[in-house]
Amino acid sequence: MSGNKDKVNILRVIIMGGAFIGLLIGSGFTTGQEIMQYFVSYKFAGITSIIVMFCLFVYVGISFSAVGYEQQFEEPKNIYRYYCGKVVGTFFDYFSVIFLYMSFWVMTAGAGAALNQQFGLPNWMGGVILGGATLITLYFGFNRLVDIMGSIGPVVSILAILLGIAGIMMNPGGFSAFPDKVAPLVESGTVMQAGSNWFMACASYVGFCMMWLAVFMTNLGKTANSKKEAYSGAIFGAFLFSLAVLLLMFGLASNLDEVAGAQIPTLILAEKINPALAVVFTLIVFTEIYTTAAPLLWAPIQRFAPDEKSSRYRVLLVVMGVIGIFVGLVIPFDRLINVIYVINGYVGFLLLFMMIVTDFRTKVLKNYTPKVVIELKKKARSSRNAG
């Protein structure tokens, strides 16, 4: 733990919040598939879902960052044992490894679909380019990854906000009419839904995002100068991300006739504004997919090879990267999102429940100390006595 409890570096807050955004704004968000399946498809209830999502993201981001700052876990898996105990925590540890790796497949598929829709390039080409960039970045380790994500995340959020606003302005009457239009599209399967109702979809969305954020935000909290700085970064990231989701939902819903059924709805929207913008936005989509793909591949590798300079880390990096690229290019992009994100989201929401229980006992009642904290303190004392 470093610095004092009130020290806040504004630039560091922006970088931390940007990294939060950069992790969440991946292929599903920038392509518009997440927005369509989780929010637009539920009509005006999608707005309620976004408000609930924002509140939960603030809580989740603060909790993960605070624990990372306070406990300084050397092993990322301990974040699950902190909230869930040894047995259930071990389940979440291994489950998250599998889920994060499968999410990397989604990023690969999204990169291939983006370049294919806009430039007509074969899907494998986009996946290979993304995979190569990811492998090169991860070769240089976590700190370099945070710097890249922190600088790109806020920029893409602002561009998504502007794209949504432009979509509303092009067809202001479309938003009020979209609920009647989306119902038959959902029934026909043209627009897929992520859950049986808006609340279940929101639970799934927050759940799968939490599985992305857990290890990454905990590790990010370790690097904060103070707990206040960690909190500020999480709140900034949650606010800007949620605002981008809201306005992009408005833009896509306002132009539902054009974007429904497209693999990359945001590119259709950008093309409608200006063909040249579609080209630029394709490159932005690809870049943001890359900033999400890298940490999604980094976390599973880190679980089995903590030392980023070891040969084991580099071998796993190449093997898992190549396999992930191959799988991501075999299965259609929208189907990957609808299956992998939704199922894993419900498991992630269970983690949220256990987080709330643990935080209530440790922060409010103050009658409980997670066993992993006790074990690590005993281990530290033993090491000092041995020395």
What distance in Å separates the CA atoms of residue 98 and residue 92, rounded to the nearest whole number? 10
Integer CA distances (angstroms), 123 to 109, 217, 284, in order: 8, 32, 17
In the DSSP assignment, the letter for residue 41 is G
Q: At what angle do helices 371-386 and 78-119 cross, to 10 degrees?
A: 110
Predicted confidence band at 51 (pLDDT cuts at 50, 70, 90)? Answer: very high
- Side-chain-side CA neighbours of 322 within 13 Å: the count stands at 5
Integer CA distances (angstroms), 340 to 23, 259, 267, 288, 334, in order: 17, 23, 23, 20, 10
What distance in Å separates the CA atoms of residue 257 and residue 308, rounded to the nearest whole number? 48
Q: Which tens digits make up the pLDDT trace of 313-363?
A: 899 999 999 998 888 888 777 777 777 777 788 888 899 999 999 999 999
| 319 Cβ contact partners less than 8 Å away, ≥ 6 residues apart | none
Q: Which tens digits make up the pLDDT trace of 91-105?
A: 998 998 888 898 898
Determine the pLDDT at residue 149. 64
Give the mean model confidence (pLDDT) for residues 303-312. Answer: 85
Choose between 31 and 359: higher pLDDT. 359
Choose between 254 and 110: higher pLDDT. 254
Q: Which tens digits make up the pLDDT trace of 155-172?
A: 778 888 899 999 999 998
Determine the pLDDT at residue 146. 67
What distance in Å separates the CA atoms of residue 31 and residue 278, rounded to the nearest whole number? 12
Extract the tokens encoding 205.
Answer: 């969305």
Predicted confidence band at 4 (pLDDT cuts at 50, 70, 90)? Answer: low
Give the mean model confidence (pLDDT) for residues 134-147. Answer: 76
Helices first, then strands: H and E counts in the chain: 17, 0
- Side-chain-side CA neighbours of 167 within 13 Å: the count stands at 31
Q: How far apart are the first and last CA of the chain?
A: 22
What distance in Å separates the CA atoms of residue 204 and residue 345, rounded to the nearest whole number? 4
Q: Are 7 and 223 in contact (CB under 8 A)?
A: no
Query: How many other C-beta atoms are found inside a 10 Å radius of the C-beta of residue 65?
Result: 30
pLDDT of 382 above 90: no
Predicted confidence band at 2 (pLDDT cuts at 50, 70, 90)? Answer: very low
pLDDT of 274 above 80: yes
Query: Considering the domain 24-382 in this protein, what is its CATH number?
Result: 1.20.1740.10
What distance in Å separates the CA atoms of residue 248 and residue 153, rounded to the nearest whole number? 16
Rg (CA), the chain: 21
* pLDDT-above-90 percentage for the chain: 35
| 387 Cβ contact partners less than 8 Å away, ≥ 6 residues apart | none
Integer CA distances (angstroms), 183 to 46, 175, 189, 200, 233, in order: 13, 14, 10, 18, 38
pLDDT of 276 above 90: no
| 100 Cβ contact partners less than 8 Å away, ≥ 6 residues apart | 211, 212, 296, 297, 299, 300
The vertex-57 CA angle with 243 and 361, nearest 5°, equals 155
Predicted confidence band at 150 (pLDDT cuts at 50, 70, 90)? Answer: low
pTM value? 0.83
Q: Which tens digits make up the pLDDT trace of 113-124?
A: 888 888 888 988
Which residue ranges make up each domain of the chain? 24-382
Q: Which tens digits make up the pLDDT trace of 33-48?
A: 889 999 999 999 999 9
Mean of per-residue pLDDT scores for the chain: 86
What distance in Å separates the CA atoms of residue 294 and residue 25, rounded to the nearest whole number? 12
